[in-house]
Amino acid sequence: MLPDGQEVRGRLHARRQVKDGWLYQVGILVWQDGANGSAEPAEQQVWVLPAHARPVPGVSYEHVPTRRLSGDAASQERPPAWTLQYLPHRPKHPGATLLHVVGCTPSDRTLTREEALAALRQPRAAACIECDAARSLTPEQ
pLDDT in tens, 35-57: 788 888 888 888 888 888 888 88
Mean pLDDT computed over 23-46 = 83
In the chain, the percentage of residues whose pLDDT exceeds 90 is 4
Cα–Cα distance for residue pair 140/92, rounded to 1 Å: 39
Q: What pLDDT score was predicted for residue 77?
A: 47
CA distances from 65 to 101, 123, 125, 130 (A): 16, 34, 29, 18
Instruction: Identify the pLDDT of residue 139.
Output: 58
